[in-house]
Amino acid sequence: MTSPNVIAAVPRGTLMSGSLDLLESIGYDVAEIRENDRKLFFAEQNIITMRPSDVPTYVERGVADIGIVGKDVLMEQSDRDLYELVDLEFGACRMVVAVVEGDEHVSERQLRRRGSLRVATKYPKMTEDYFAASGRQVELVEVKGSVELAAIAGLADAIVDLTATGITLKENGLVISEEIANCTARLIANPGSYRLKSTEIDSVVERLQASVAVKAG
């Protein structure tokens, strides 16, 4: 099978399987990628695999023409020079603000007392932008591991994180106080590639949209 002449950046992790399914449905040869979980660059297949947060970098720099990435990553890296082309409608999660159960009014109390809210997150830029839009000042605590711990241990008044089912929050005694955005996988493109390969990329977009529509039933 000959893959389309458009280099695609695919995120490893939770979105990888769905990404490969969609690419396969439009003609990409993904058999070797499914069988080899260590190899990263598949030149013959026009596919590069990487951690999700790196997909916008490789697409913006033109190493890949297109990429598949979660909306959460795009929100955090909103200053990237990229085209967001298609909502691929899989990998659905919610970006939320969560607090310890029973402490739902912590935001108002701390804003009155300190003038700012201490928020732990893996998404500092997006979090700051979100709270600034409503006129609230935040003190950001950037964490890399389990964000829930920051609220439980008292490191932060609230957390901002991505959740699919809410089960992890509930198991750690947290409740959702605000919903920021619904996040699904998106198709992005390099602007230069889009100009040079407009016919090929438009074809990929049209076939992906058709495939998404079929999956939606």
Alpha-carbon gap, residue 159 to 176, rounded angstroms:
9
Domain encompassing residue 52: 8-91+184-216
Evaluate the CA torsion angle 175, 180, 182, 186 in order and state its sign: negative
Give the total residue count for the chain.
217
pLDDT at 103: 77
Q: In whole angstroms, what is the distance from residue 122 CA to residue 12 CA?
A: 18
CA-nearest of 80, 34, 28, 31 to 53 is 80
The structure tokens 């695609």 sit at: 8
> What tens digit of pLDDT does each residue of 110-133 get?
666 666 789 999 999 999 999 999
| Whether residue 147 is found in the same domain as residue 170 | yes
Same domain for 57 and 24?
Answer: yes
Find the radius of gyration of the CA atoms of the chain.
Answer: 19
The pLDDT of residue 51 is 97
Task: Assess contact for 186 and 71: CB atoms under 8 A.
Answer: yes
For the chain, give the longest Cα–Cα distance. Answer: 64
DSSP state of 81: -
CA distance 69 to 188: 7
| C-alpha span between 16 and 169 (Å, rounded) | 24
Shared-domain flag, residues 120 and 190: no
Judged by DSSP in three states, 42 sits in strand
Task: Note down pLDDT in tens along the chain; length 217 residues.
Answer: 567 899 999 999 999 999 999 999 999 999 999 999 899 999 999 999 999 999 999 999 999 999 999 999 999 999 999 999 999 999 999 999 999 998 766 667 666 666 678 999 999 999 999 999 988 889 999 999 999 999 999 999 999 999 999 999 999 999 999 999 999 999 999 999 999 999 999 999 999 999 999 888 7
pLDDT at 216: 81
Note whether residue 2 is domain-resident. no
For 46-66, the pLDDT digits (tens) are 999 999 999 999 999 999 999
Residues 103 and 158 in one domain: yes
pLDDT of residue 105: 66
Pair (103, 177) in one structural domain: yes
* 98 shares a domain with 74: no
Q: Are residues 54 and 120 in the same domain?
A: no
| Pair 34, 106 in one domain | no
Closest among 96, 59, 77, 70 to 14, alpha carbons compared: 70
**How many domains are there within the chain?**
2
Residue 71 belongs to domain with CATH number? 3.40.190.10
Same domain, 174 and 190: no
* Whether residue 107 sits in one domain with residue 161: yes
* Domain-located, residue 55: yes
Residue 1 within any structural domain of the chain: no
* Residue 3 located in a structural domain: no
Q: For residue 135, what are its two tokens?
A: 């006129």
- Indicate if 99 and 177 belong to the same structural domain: yes
pTM beyond cutoff 0.95: no
